[in-house]
Structure 1
C-alpha cells in the first residue's frame, strides 16, 4: 500500500513538471526593480553638536520605475524602527552626546524588496569645539561665552584623471547657530586670560580618549571640564592644602596630560605630576620651587602628543630659554595610568649637535612677548612623528622679531634642528596686541593696534609681512582654527585645503570670524597674496546676529582634543 501512494505522488510530480514545460511561458514573470548604482546623498558618518538639527535626504534610482517609483520608506535608530518616520527624509537632533547609528531603507512596494544604507552620527557636546570668549562684566565679574560651530556641506567642481569635471561634496563649518552667553555664572572676578590644556592624543588602538580643558585666569584660577565647561577645580586646590609659604598668585602656566608647571608671581615654578592621562586633576603640586628654587620669568604652552615632545619651554631669570623635561607617559594604550620618569621636571639647557650650549637661546636684551606651539611635520598623515616647535615674538627696545624653532628631546638632551630655526625682523609692528598661530598652514596673524598682519614662519628671509586688514577699532585678542584636513577620493585625489579660520575680538566687545585666503607660488609655496573674508556674523544671513559681548579680555579656539590641533576632522 505504501508503494502505491509513493508511486501516485511521483506521477503527479511528473505531470506537473510536464505542464510547466509545455505552457509556452504563458505565465506573467515581471522583472524586479533593482537599484542603479548606490544610495547617494547620504554620508557614511556625520558629526554634529547636541541640540543641532541634521536632516538627511538620501537619493536613489531604480532600474524600472525611474520617474515615479512606487515605494515606501522606513528609518531605524540604533536598530529600532522610528515611529512615524516614513518619508524620503528624516530630521535628527540629540540632547545627549554619543555615537548613533541611523539606517535608511527604501522599499519597492511591488516586490517588497528593501534597499538600505546606514550612517553613524557622532553627537558631541556643544562646548567640545568652538570659540571660547572671556569677558569682564560691569561689576568686574568673569563672563564666559561660547560660539559653537555646526557642520554643513557644499559642492565644488573637481576633475578626475581623464579631465572630466565631477561635482564633489565636502564639509565646512558655519557659525552663529550655537551662541551661549555666560555659561558659568559665578565663575569668578577680574578675568585676565584663557589657557587651553589640549589633552592626550591616544595611540592607535587605545581604549580611552581625553577631551581638552579650559583654564580661566582670574583672581582665583578655575579649571573647567572640556565637555561641559563646568568648573572641575580651582587651581589652588591642587596643592591639597599645602600652599607655598611665600603666597600663591600664579601668572602663567603650561599643562599637558602628564604634568603641570605653574609660574608664581615671585618667579618660582611649581610642578605637579599627573597620575592618569584621562584625569587632569589626579595630581598634586609640590610646594617646593622647581630646580632648587631657580627663578623664571615665563613658562609657555606645550601640546604634548608623542615621545618627541617631552619638554616644556621656559625662560630663566637671566633671560635664557630652557626646557623642562616632561617624560611621563601612560603605561600602555590599554590603560591611562601614567608611569613617572625620573628625568621629569629636570631643567635642561638647549644644546647644539656638538653638545655645546646653543647661544641662540641666550636672549640678552630681547624679551619674550608671547610664545605659542607650532608644528614641524615629518609626515602630515602621522601625528606620532610630530616634533615640538614654537613661534615666539621677541621685542628688543621698540623693535619686534619673530623666532621659530623646533627641538628634539631624549630626556637628557634638547637640541634644535638648524633647518627649523629662524629669527627675522618685523619692522611693521609698533603696538603689538596678540598673535594667532596657524600651526599646520605655517603662518601667524599678528594684531598691531587696529592693523592685522600675515606672516609665514619657517620660510626664512623669503617671507614678508602682508597687511590683511585695518579695523575701525583696536584689536583686543586673536584666535586660530587651523582647518588642515586630508580629504581623499580615489577618483579626484586630494580635495583642496580649507582656509584657516581667524577669530578677532575688538576693543568695543564685538567678536568676528574670518577665513584667511592665501595665494601661493613655487615649490616652497611662498605666499604672494593674503586676504580675509568674513564668516561670522554671516553677511548673507537673513536675520541679524548679535556678536557683541561684554568687555572682551581673551579668546581661544577650543579643539576638543589635541589631535584636532594637528589634523582637523570635520
Structure 2
C-alpha cells in the first residue's frame, strides 16, 4: 500500500516534469508566429564585421554592409543615418553639419547622410559619439532590415600649436601636433589649411596680425581669435568654424572701424583693444562693452591683466598707464610716481609688453619703450602690478638698454617667467639680453642666426605647460619663425634653459609652412 502511494507520487512528478519540459521546448521552438513576416534572405550579415569606427571630423568615410537579399534588388531603397549616441537613434535627430552648433531637433527631423547602398561620404558632424544606422527597404512589401554601428567623430583640431600665416591664396591656419608639447604623441603631424577647409567662402581680409587661444574653463568654452589690420573672427577651436563675426562680439553699438590691436584673456574676462578703445566682457559669451574715462580721453595701444582681473593699459596718446578695476567699466589714470618712473607720465612710446620674471612673482611686467622722436634709444621698464589699486604698484627699474647690439632694429621680444631671461630679434639675429634689475645694467649677445636666405619674422618663448609631460614646457622652448624668398615659412624650436636662456646647439624640431608666419599660439583642450 505504502509502495503504491510512493509509485503514484513518482508517476505524478514524472508527468509534471514531462509537461514542464514540453512547455519549455515549445517556448524554445517558438519562431514568433504572430503575423511577423518571414524576411527570408533579406538581412545584413553581421558575422565577423567591425562594429566600431573612429574618424576625424570632415574626413571621408566609406563602409559597405554585408547585405544579403535574394530578390529583385531594383525594388530596394537605402538610407544611412547618423544619430547622437545619447539620444534615441529612431526618430528626430538634433545634429546637422559641423559648421554651426545651435540646431534643434526640429531643424533636422531626419538626418540622412546617404541613400546609396555603399556609404562613401564626408562626415561633418560635430565631435562626439554616434550611431550610424543602415536601413534597406523593400518598396513592394514595405519590409525593412537594419544594421547599426558605433561611430566616434574626433575633432579635427585637438591640442597643438596653431600657426597663422599668409601666402598668395590668403591667410590660413595650420595645426602642428608634436610630442614636444604633448606626451601622448609619438610623432609629429599636421592639420594643414584648417581655417580655409572649414570656411572656404570666408577669407580673412588684410594682413594677419594675431592668433589668440582663449580658454574659458568656467564655461567649458574654447575659442581662437584671428585678427588682421582690418578683420576679426572668433573661431571654434573644436573644428575651426566661425563662431562669431566681429559685429557679434559687442554689446550695443558696433565699432565703426575694425582695428584690433590687442586681445588678452584671464579666467572668464576678455579684454579687447580696438582702434584705441578698451573693451571688456565678463563671460565667455562675450558682449564686449567699451570702457571710458571721466573728463579725459585716451588711446590704448596695449594692455595686460593685473591683480585678480583688474586691467592695465598703455595710453599712447598721453604716454601713460591707465587702469580699470575688475567690476568697473571706467578707466582711470594711474597716479603713482614710483621710485624709477612716473606711471602717469612715462613720456615714451611702447614697443612691447609682456609678463616676465621677478623672484617668482607672476604679476611682473616688462615693457620696452622708445623715445617719441626715434633716436635709436631703447628702454626696459620693469614693475610689479600685484595690488588691488594701481597707486600701490611697485617699480623695479627703468633701464636704458640702448647699448645692446642692434636693439634699435629689434621687432620681436620674448620674456621668460621662470627665470631672468629676455630675447629680442632683428631680421638677421636672435639676441639674448643679460640684465640686472637691481642695478639697471644690461648687455646682449647674438645667440642664433637663421639659414641663408631666411629672415626672422617673430620669436616667442613657449608659454604653455604642455600636455601629459613629466616636466612643464613653459619657457623651455624658444620658437623662432622665419620666412624665405621661396615663399616658405619655418618655426625653429630651440631648447632654452629656463633660468639662464642658454640655447641648445641645434633645434629640436623644425616645422614648415606655406607662407609668411604672423603669429602662433598653443591650443590645449
TM over 0.5: yes
Q: How far apart, in 2, do the equivalents of 1:219 and 1:394 lie?
A: 26
Deviation at 1:373, TM superposition (A): 3.0
Q: Is the 8 A contact 1:136 1:190 kept in 2?
A: no
Partner of 2:336: 351
Q: 1:289 to 1:152 in 2, by over 3 A?
A: closer
Q: Deviations over 1:26-56 (max 9, x none)?
A: xxxxxxxxxxxxxxxxxxxxxxx989xxxxx
Please tell me whether the aligned partners of residues 215 and 224 of structure 1 are also in contact (alpha carbons under 8 angstroms): yes
Structure 1 position 479 matched with structure 2 position 460 = yes
Equivalent pair of 1:475/1:505 in contact (CA under 8 Å): yes
Deviation (angstroms), 1:480: 2.4
- Residue 533 in structure 1 maps to residue 518 in structure 2: no
Aligned to 1:431: 409
Give the corresponding residue for 2:22.
none
Query: Quick check: 1:480–1:557 contact (8 Å CA) kept in 2?
Result: no
Corresponding residue number in structure 1 for 2:195: 183
Aligned-partner Cα distance in 1 for 2:524–2:468: 20
- Cα RMSD for the two superposed structures: 4.1
The CA distance in 2 between the partners of 1:272 and 1:351, in whole Å, is: 24
* Counterpart Cα distance in 2 of 1:349 and 1:152: 39
Distance 1:534 1:474 in 2: 16
* Cα distance in 2 for residues equivalent to 1:176 and 1:388: 34
TM-superposed deviation, 1:294:
1.3
Q: Corresponding residue for 1:271? A: 279
Q: How many residues are treated as equivalent by the alignment?
A: 365
Look at both structures and tell me which one has the larger radius of gyration over its CA atoms.
Answer: 2
The 1:547–1:417 alpha-carbon spacing in structure 2 relative to 1, beyond 3 Å, is same
Structure 1 residues 179 and 445: alpha-carbon distance in aligned structure 2, compared to 1, 3 A threshold: farther
Shift of 1:499: 6.9
Q: Give the 3 Å change call, closer, same or farther, for CA 213–405 of structure 1 in structure 2.
A: farther
Deviation at 1:349, TM superposition (A): 0.2
| Higher RCO (C-alpha 8 Å, min separation 6) | 1
Q: Report how far residue 452 of structure 1 moved.
A: 0.6
Q: Are 1:392 and 1:402, in contact at CA under 8 Å, matched by a contact in 2?
A: yes
Structure 1 distance, partners of 2:329, 2:189, is 44
Distance verdict in 2 for CA 1:511–1:394, change over 3 Å: same
**CA-CA distance at 1:193 after TM superposition:** 0.7
Task: Give the superposition deviation at 1:310.
Answer: 1.8
Output the CA distance in 1 between the equivalents of 2:424 and 2:185: 23
When residues 241 and 504 of structure 1 are mapped into structure 2, their CA distance, relative to the original with a 3 A threshold, is: same
How much does 1:368 deviate?
A: 0.8
Query: Is 1:133 aligned to 2:163, yes or no?
Result: yes
Q: Return closer, same or farther for 1:398/1:220 CA change in 2, 3 Å cut-off.
A: same
Whether 2:242 is the aligned partner of 1:217: answer no
Is contact 2:167-2:514 (8 Å) kept? no
Residue 20 of structure 2 corresponds to none
Question: Counterpart in 2 of 1:299?
Answer: 302
Q: Please give the secondary structure, in 1, of the residue aligned with 2:273.
A: strand
Instruction: List runs of 5+ in structure 1 lacking aligned partners.
Output: 1-48, 52-94, 100-122, 154-170, 203-207, 328-340, 379-385, 489-493, 538-545, 562-570
Task: Name the residue aligned to 1:557.
Answer: 521
Structure 2 spans left out of the alignment, 5+ residues? 1-54, 58-124, 130-152
Matching residue within 160, 172, 177 for 1:143: 172
**What corresponds to 1:511 in structure 2?**
490
Aligned ranges for residues 308-319 of structure 1 at < 5 Å? 308-319=308-319
Cα 1:142/1:475, change in 2 over 3 Å: same
Q: Evaluate the alpha carbon distance shift between residue 348 and residue 310 of structure 1 in structure 2; reply closer, same or farther with a 3 A threshold.
A: same
Checking the alignment, whether the CA contact within 8 Å between 1:444 and 1:454 is kept in structure 2 is yes
Change (3 A) 1:97 1:361: farther
Query: Map of 1:194-209 to 2, 5 A cutoff?
Result: 194-196=210-212, 198-200=214-216, 209=220
CA–CA distance in structure 1, aligned partners of residues 386 and 483 of structure 2: 40
Checking the alignment, whether the CA contact within 8 Å between 1:125 and 1:228 is kept in structure 2 is yes
Task: Tell me, yes or no, if the aligned pair for 1:50 and 1:96 is still in contact at 8 Å.
Answer: no
Query: What residue number does 1:362 align with?
Result: 345
Q: Deviations over 1:245-264 (max 9, x none)?
A: xx323241333354444434
Quick one: structure 1 residues 501 and 374, their matched pair in 2 at CA, closer, same or farther if it must change by over 3 Å?
A: same
Query: Does residue 395 in structure 1 map to residue 395 in structure 2?
Result: no
Query: Cα gap change, 1:308/1:261 in structure 2, threshold over 3 Å: closer, same or farther?
Result: closer
Deviation at 1:129, TM superposition (A): 3.7
Could you give the per-residue CA deviations for residues 525-568 of structure 1, whole angstroms, max 9, x where no partner exists? 656x544531223xxxxxxxx7131233x12222537xxxxxxx
Q: What is the TM-score normalised by the length of structure 2?
A: 0.58
**Which digits, 9 at most, give the CA deviation of each residue in 1:111-156, with x for residues without a partner?**
xxxxxxxxxxxx99563543222222315x2222222223699xxx
| Residues 298 and 315, structure 2, Cα contact 8 Å, conserved in 1 | no
Secondary structure of 1:430's partner?
helix
Kept in 2: contact 1:478–1:555 (CA 8 A) = no
The CA distance in 2 between the partners of 1:150 and 1:126, in whole Å, is: 17
2:246 to 235, 250, 256: 235
**Structure 1 segments of 4 or more deviating over 6 A?**
95-99, 172-175, 485-488, 494-499
Q: What is residue 427 of structure 2 aligned with on the other side?
A: 449
Q: Taking structure 1 as the reference length, what is the TM-score of the superposition?
A: 0.54
